[in-house]
């Protein structure tokens, strides 16, 4: 099997596409990184859960993504939703950019080696304005780096916009 990285803006259809990609798999494990810090986020989590078929397994793991991925059975297709919140959780807990990169490389490597296949969701946040404060700039920069690391390990990377998909070419395919 292979793994697909799905990038895009908020509410672009990334999670819905990840669910569709997983639908053909027999056994599906969702690794959810969100934490319900307030009522609005709790409602978002509820909506995401409601979209998943009842037979799917969910692992809620906001920080230890590598361990969660290592725990997925070999025959299980894994959906990681999402790297955006995972990076925010790591930064919120005081992880340095170097530690976030290291954790990302390890987790992406585990996902790439997973025989059951995977769909990984993340936001593309680098196309907007430069954030006004240092933490927001660090988050934007770290997520861009994390997305590039995961794309490097992915078999396919797609940009999802308004529910439509644009496959992104590997830069190595463009020549020297």
54-83: per-residue pLDDT in tens? Answer: 899 999 999 999 999 999 999 999 999 999
Point out the catalytic residue in the list 48, 52, 114, 153: 48
Residues 6+ apart with CB under 8 A from 82: 14, 15, 33, 34, 120, 121, 122, 123
Top pLDDT among 2 and 110 is at 110
Confidence check: pLDDT of 88 > 80? yes
Q: What is the pLDDT of residues 22-51, one digit of tens each?
A: 988 889 999 999 998 899 999 988 988 888
Is 3-157 CATH 3.40.190.10?
no
Does residue 153 have an active-site annotation? no
Q: Is 154 exposed, middle or buried (0-12, 13-18, 19+ CB in 10 A)?
A: buried
Model pLDDT, residue 175: 63
Q: What is the pLDDT of residues 97-156, one digit of tens each?
A: 999 999 999 999 999 999 999 999 999 998 888 889 999 999 999 999 999 999 999 999
Model pLDDT, residue 18: 94
Model pLDDT, residue 174: 61
Question: What three-state secondary structure class fits 132?
Answer: coil
Residue 93 has φ and ψ, to the nearest 5°, of: -90, 5
Confidence check: pLDDT of 1 > 70? no
How far apart, in whole angstroms, are the C-alpha atoms of residue 97 and residue 136? 13
| Angle, CA of 122, 126 and 127, to the nearest 5° | 115
**Domain ranges, ordered by start, for the chain:** 3-157
pTM of full prediction above 0.85: yes
Model pLDDT, residue 64: 98
Which pair of structure tokens corresponds to residue 61? Answer: 């793991």
Mean pLDDT to the nearest integer, 152-161: 95
- pLDDT band at 169; cut points 50, 70, 90: confident
């Amino acid at each position: 099997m292979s793994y697909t990285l799905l990038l895009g803006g908020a509410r672009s259809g990334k999670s819905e596409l990840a669910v569709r990609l997983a639908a053909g798999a027999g056994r599906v494990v969702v690794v959810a990184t969100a934490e319900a810090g307030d009522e609005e986020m709790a409602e978002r989590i509820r909506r995401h859960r409601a979209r998943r078929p009842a037979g799917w397994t969910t692992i809620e793991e906001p920080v230890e993504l590598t361990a969660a991925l290592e725990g997925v059975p070999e025959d299980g297709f894994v959906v990681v939703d999402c790297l955006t919140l995972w990076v925010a959780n790591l930064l919120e807990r005081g992880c340095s950019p170097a530690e976030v990169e290291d954790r990302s490389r390890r987790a992406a490597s585990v996902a790439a080696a997973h025989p059951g296949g995977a769909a990984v969701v993340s936001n593309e946040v680098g196309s907007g304005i430069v954030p006004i404060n240092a933490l927001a700039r660090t988050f934007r920069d770290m997520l861009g780096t994390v997305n590039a690391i995961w794309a490097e390990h992915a078999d396919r990377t797609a940009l999802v916009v308004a529910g439509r998909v644009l496959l992104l070419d590997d830069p190595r395919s463009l020549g020297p």
